[in-house]
Structure 1
Amino acid sequence: MEKDNKNNIPKDLLVPLKRKEDTSEKLSGPSRTFMQDARRTFFKNKLAILCSLILIVIVIMSIVGPGMNEYELDDQDLSRAKMPPHIPVLENISWLGFDGTLTGEYRGDTAEHAAENAIARYDNQEDFIDIEVKTEGDGTKNSAEVEATYHVYDAKDMSDQYYWLGTDTLGRDQWTRLWLGTRVSLIIALVAAAIDLVVGVAYGGISAYYGGKVDNVMQRILEVLVGIPNLVVILLMILVLQPGILSIIIALSITGWIGMARIVRGEVLKLKNQEFVLAARTLGTSNGKIISKHLLPNISGIIIINTMFTIPSAIFFEAFLSFIGLGLVPPDASLGTLINTGFDNLRLYPYLLVFPAVLISVIMIAFNLIADGLRDAFDPKMHK
C-alpha cells in the first residue's frame, strides 16, 4: 500500500533540492579575542568596577585635595591645635561627628567630681562644656560617670572657621596632610611596583629562556637575595641614605622583584618549548623578539595580576616603616606618619587616627579586589 501511495504522488510536487552553502559552521557574529573576553569578564565584575572608580576618585583627590583650602602642609599654629572636624552644613547633624565638638566620658566619686575632671581636661572652659550625668555615684571610687561635650570652636572664638578633618597636635590641617600623604604613599607604591615589574620580568624571563648555566647562576643569586630580610635592607638604606622617599623606594626595590621573577620564570619555562616558539626559532627570529613578541604577551595576564597585588603590599610596607619611625620624617606626610601621630593621640583625639586608617584600608581592599577581578578575567575558564 505504501508503494502505491508513493507512486500516486503528482510529479509536479517533486521539486529538486537546490544545493546551498553549508551554514552548519557559519559564525553568527564576529569572534572575540582573548583580551576582549578578558575585558568583558572584568566589566561583569561589579565589585571590581566599583573599586576601580573608588581608586580613581582617591587618585584625583590626592592631586586636587590639598589645593581645596588655603592651608599648607607644614602650616603650624599652636592656637588652633587639636581642633576636631568641622564641616559646613554637616555641622548641623551632630551624630556624624563633624560639628566641631569633643566628647568624652569621665568618672569620679560623685557626679560633681566627674564633672570637675571633665572641665579640667578641657582647659577649664566651663562656659563651653555641656555636662550630661549618666551615673550619680554613691561616693565610692569612680562610681559616677558624666559625658562632657566641649565646643572648641566657640571657646576659641573660631566658630566661623572650618577644618574639615580637624587639626593635629601642632595645628596643621589634617585634610591637606591626609591627601598629600596619600599622594606620597601612592607614588612610593607605584614606583616600587614599576621597578619590580621591569626588573622581575626581565630577570625571570632571561633566566628561564636561556636556561642551563645562565639559569643556575641567576637562581643562586636569587636565593641569596631571598635570605636577606626586608627590614635589614631598610636599616642598611637608612644608614647609607637619609630617611625619606628615595631610601624607601630603593629598599622596596632591592628584594621586591624576586616574587615577580620567580613567577615569570615558571611561566616562561612552560612556554619556551611550545610549537609557536620553536617555529619562531626555525624562522630565525632573534631571542629578544621571541621573548618580547611571543612569550611576554602570553604571560601578560599573570604579570598584571601580580603587579596589582604588589601595589597594596608596597603601600602597607611604607606605612609600616613610617609607623615605626623608619620611613618618612615629619613634617613630611604619608599615610604611615599620619597613623603614627593618630595612634599616639588615640584616646583623646581619635579622629587623627580614624581618617588615615580608613583611607589606607580602602586603598588596600580596592587594589586587592581589582586584582581578584583581573585574575578571574584572565582565567579562560571564567569566560562565557
Structure 2
Amino acid sequence: MDKNNLPKELFVPAKKRDDEAEKISRPSRTFLQDASRSLLKNVPSMVAIFALVVIIIMSFIGPGMNDYGYDDQDLSRAKMPARVPGLENISWSGFTGTLQGTYKGSTVEEAKQKALSRYGNDEEFIDIEVKDKGDGSEDSAKVKAVYHIYEAKDMEDQYFWFGTDGLGRDQWTRAWQGTKISLYIAFLAAAIDLVIGVIYGGISGYYGGRIDNIMQRIIEILIGIPNLVVVILMIIILKPGIISITIALTITGWIGMARIVRGEVLKLKNQEFVLASRTLGAPDRKIIFRHLIPNVVGLIIINTMFTIPNAIFFEAFLSFIGLGLVPPEASLGTLIDTGFDSLQIYPYMLIFPAILISVIMVAFNILADGLRDAFDPKMRD
C-alpha cells in the first residue's frame, strides 16, 4: 500500500474525556512497597534469603536431630568420617563413612605396608588397590587404600552425618550449635551498632556546630584504635567468651553507622519538610526520629546487612587465633580452628564448618547488594 495515498477513512479523531485526563497509569505504591517489589524480582537476593532462612532454622533444630549432645565425648568414636543413610553406598558422595588415601613406596609391598600401618593394620577392613607398580625408584609405586572404619569399630548401625572430632563429639550437632552462636554474636553486635550508631550520628548531624565537633573528635579517637587491641584488652579484663567478643565488637563497630547517618542528616536537615516541622514547633527529638531517620532507613538497613557478615568473620577470626570462645563452647571459628589442625588427614572436620560460614557470608553480602538496589531510586523501573 502506498504510504502517500492512504484512505482518509483510516484516520479517526481521538476522543478526549476529562475524567481520564488525570488518570494515573499505574497503581500508587509507597516507598517500602516499591522497594519490596524490586527485592522480590531480584532472584539472587531471594535465593540468599532462602539459604539464610534454612540455615537459621537448622541452627535451632539441627542439634536436636540426633541423640548426641554438642559436648558428648567418647574416644571410642573419635575421628569418624561422615556417613549418611542412603549415601553411604555412593562412592563419590563423600558420606560413605570410609577413610581413603594414596600411599607411595619404592615397591608395591612398601606402599601397602604404609597404608596398613596408617590404619592400624586392620587388614580385614582395608581395601587396597594398586595404582602404579613403579620401577623400583623411590616413591614410584602407588596404592589406594580404603579403610572401612565403621565396620572395624563394629558401629555399622550408627551414622555421623558430619563425622566426629578428636574427642568423639558429633560434628553435625557442633556445627549447627556453632552456627547458632556465631549468628547470635553477629546479630547482637549488629543490633547494638544499629542503636548506638543511629542515635549518635543523628544527634551529631542534626545539632552540628560545637556538639558535632566534639562528637566527631571522639569518633576519630575510637577509630584510631585497632579492633584487635580492643579485643585483647577485653580478654585481659574479662574472660574469653561471648561477652568479651560482643563488647569488643560494640566499642568500635558502631562508628561506620554513625558516620553514614551523620552525613545523610547533614544533607536533609535543611530541607523544606524539616524547616516546616521546626516552624510548627515540633521538638528536636520528633524531627530526628520522625522525619530525618526514616529518610535514611535504606542506608541503615544496607549497612546493617554488611555489618552482620563482618561480625561473623571477625568472631571466626578471633576463635581461630585462640582469642575467641573457650572449648567446649562451639562456634564456626572454633570448629574451623580444630579442623585446620587435622586438614590433611581428616579434611571433613574443616570442610563442613567452612562451607557453612562461606554460605552465610556470601548470602548476607548478596542480600545487602539486593537491598541496596531496591532502596536506590535510580535502580527502579
- One fold, TM greater than 0.5? yes
Residue in 2 aligned with 1:12? Answer: none
Corresponding residue number in structure 1 for 2:195: 198
State the 4+ residue runs in structure 1 displaced beyond 4 angstroms.
none
TM-fit CA distance, 1:141: 1.4
Hey, what does 2:35 align to over in structure 1? 38
- Structure 2: gaps of 5 or more residues: 1-14
Structure 2 letter corresponding to 1:350: P
**Residue of structure 2 aligned with 1:87, choices 63, 69, 84:** 84
Is 1:321 equivalent to 2:308 in the alignment? no
Q: How far, CA to CA, are the matches of 1:19 and 1:86 in structure 2?
A: 74
User: Unmatched 5+ residue regions in structure 1?
Assistant: 1-17
Give the corresponding residue for 1:224: 221
CA distance in 2, matches of 1:197, 1:40: 25
Cα displacement (A) at 1:24: 2.2
TM-score by length of structure 1 reads 0.94
Distance, in Å, in 2 between the alignment partners of 1:132 and 1:118 is: 11
Q: Residue deviations 1:159-180, cap 9 Å, x none? A: 1111111100110000000000
CA distance in 1, matches of 2:96, 2:156: 10
Distance in 1, matches of 2:27 and 2:100, equals 64
Structure 2 residue corresponding to 1:239, chosen from 236, 241, 247: 236
Which has the larger displacement, 23-32 or 136-145? 23-32
| Inter-partner Cα distance in structure 2 for 1:242 and 1:122 | 40
What letter matches 2:380 in structure 1? H
2:344 aligned with 1:343, yes or no? no
Structure 1 residues 27, 78: CA separation in 2 closer, same or farther (over 3 Å shift)? same
CA deviations on 1:296-354 (whole Å, 9 max, x unpaired) are: 11000000000000000000000000000000011110000000011000000000000
1:268-288: CA deviations, max 9, x gaps?
000000000000000000000
3-state SS of paired residue (1:103): strand
Distance (Å, rounded) in 1 between the aligned partners of 2:103 and 2:345: 12
Which residue of structure 2 aligns with residue 53 of structure 1?
50
**Map 1:12-31 → 2, pairs under 5 A:** 20-31=17-28
Counterpart-to-counterpart distance in 2, 1:266 and 1:173: 49
Question: 1:116, 1:227 → 2: CA distance?
Answer: 59
Instruction: Please give the alpha-carbon distance, in whole angstroms, between the structure 2 residues aligned to 1:160 and 1:22.
Output: 77
Cα deviation code 1:31-71 (max 9, x no counterpart):
11111111110000011001101100000000000000000
Match for residue 158 of structure 1 among 155, 158, 162: 155
CA distance in 2, matches of 1:373, 1:201: 22
C-alpha displacement of 1:29: 4.3
Query: CA offsets per residue over residues 182-225 of structure 1, 9 Å max, x none?
Result: 00000000000000000011111100100000000000000000
Of the three residues 361, 379, 383, the one matched with 2:380 is 383
Question: Is it true that 1:269 corresponds to 2:278 in the alignment?
Answer: no
1:167 correspondence with 2:168: no
Q: Distance in 2 between matches of 1:72 and 1:33?
A: 48
Counterpart-to-counterpart distance in 2, 1:71 and 1:368: 33
- Where do 1:252-291 residues align within 5 Å? 252-291=249-288
Q: 1:365 corresponds to which residue? A: 362
Distance in 1, Cα, partners of 2:343 & 2:143 = 20
Instruction: Name the residue aligned to 1:208.
Output: 205
Instruction: Tell me the TM-score normalized by structure 2.
Output: 0.95
Q: What letter matches 1:76 in structure 2?
A: Q
Task: From 364, 371, 374, give the equivalent of 1:374.
Answer: 371
Selected match of 2:185 from 183, 188, 194:
188
What is the match of residue 68 of structure 1?
Answer: 65
Question: RMSD in angstroms over aligned alpha carbons?
Answer: 1.2
> 1:8 matched to which residue of 2?
none
Secondary structure at the counterpart of residue 157 of structure 1: coil
Aligned-residue offset at 1:19:
9.2
Displacement after TM superposition at 1:139 (Å): 2.2
Q: How does 1:4-19 map onto structure 2 within 5 Å?
A: none
Structure 1 position 138, deviation (Å):
2.2
Whole-Å separation in 2 of the counterparts to 1:192 and 1:226: 17
1:109 has 2:106 as partner? yes
Residue type at the aligned position of 1:270: K
Alpha-carbon distance in structure 2 between the residues aligned to 1:29 and 1:37 = 12
In terms of Rg, which structure is larger? 1
Aligned residues: 368
Provide the residue aligned with 1:3 in structure 2: none
CA shift, 1:20, in A, is 4.9
Tell me how far apart the structure 1 counterparts of residues 26 and 240 of structure 2 sit (CA, whole Å).
59
Quote how far apart the aligned CAs of 1:22 are: 4.5
Within-5 A mapping of 1:107-146: 107-146=104-143
Distance 1:294 1:264 in 2: 13
Counterpart Cα distance in 1 of 2:260 and 2:291: 17
